[in-house]
Amino acid sequence: MRRNKQPTHTSKVMQYLTRPEVEFATVNEISAAVGSTTAQVNSALHALRHYLAVDVVVQQGVGWWFACPGDDTRTKIVEERTPEDGPRRRRKLLRSHTVRV
């Protein structure tokens, strides 16, 4: 059974914050724009903040989030796969031991 792959809430939030027309946004604005709950947006923002991809400015008790992709420390390193010389050894099956009396 194949699953439909959909973007994560974190990627939706990051895409929204990196739009040219968006400079600052509250959690409620982001939630309405990306179609996620405020809890999902909050979780995504804090995960992105851990990697310095976004930051927050708090004014009068309201958090205004903004993207700082130049400081983003999220990385994905994929090493190039090298072919192996020979096949790997197969695992030997363990046989149950019988006790003779």
> Domain segments of the chain: what residues?
9-70
29-84: per-residue pLDDT in tens?
Answer: 999 999 999 999 999 999 999 999 999 999 999 999 999 977 778 776 667 777 77
Residue 66, classed as helix, strand or coil, is strand
pLDDT given for residue 5 in this prediction: 81
**Does residue 95 have a pLDDT over 90?**
no
Q: What is the pTM (predicted TM-score) of this model?
A: 0.69
From residue 2, give the alpha-carbon distance in Å to each of 6, 7, 54. 12, 16, 33
* R_g of the chain computed on alpha carbons: 24
pLDDT given for residue 97 in this prediction: 61
User: Which CATH code for domain 9-70?
Assistant: 1.10.10.10
- Amino acid identity of 32? A
